[in-house]
């Protein structure tokens, strides 16, 4: 494995996935997930099973923090803290 993600990159990935989950749950529409080019390039450098594993764990984090989307002013802070904590646990080999 010749790539590592920063916590900020993981948060960006999970937040994009969270938007997709929100779209599915609220509107029944599965929108494509878009990432900034540097993150997308890193993701594209991961191959096969390792890519599937990373994406699966990132979606697991998105699922776990979905309930934090409450519309409150501090919601982003809570979500970022939780993503950080879960990423340290679930994605430690990628950070």
Rounded to whole angstroms, the Cα distance separating 24 from 17 reads 11
| Cα angle for residues 72, 22, 94 (degrees, 5° grid) | 95
The pLDDT of residue 32: 87
Question: What pLDDT is stored for residue 31 in this prediction?
Answer: 82
Task: Give the ranges where 1-95 is alpha helix by DSSP (H).
Answer: 7-27, 37-45, 48-65, 75-90
pLDDT for position 2:
65
Phi-psi label, residue 9: left if phi above 0, alpha if psi -120 to 50, beta otherwise: alpha
Tens digits of pLDDT across the chain (95 residues): 567 999 999 999 999 999 999 888 888 888 888 999 999 999 999 989 999 999 999 999 999 998 887 777 678 888 999 999 999 999 999 99
């Amino acid at each position: 494995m010749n790539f590592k993600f920063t916590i900020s990159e993981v948060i960006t990935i999970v937040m994009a996935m969270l938007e997709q989950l929100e779209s599915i749950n609220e509107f029944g529409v599965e929108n494509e997930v878009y990432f900034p080019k540097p993150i997308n390039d890193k993701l594209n450098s991961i191959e096969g099973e390792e890519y599937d594993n990373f994406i699966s764990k990132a979606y697991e984090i998105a699922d776990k923090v979905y309930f934090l989307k409450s519309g409150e002013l501090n919601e982003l802070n809570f979500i970022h803290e939780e993503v950080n904590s879960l990423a340290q646990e679930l994605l430690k080999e990628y950070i």
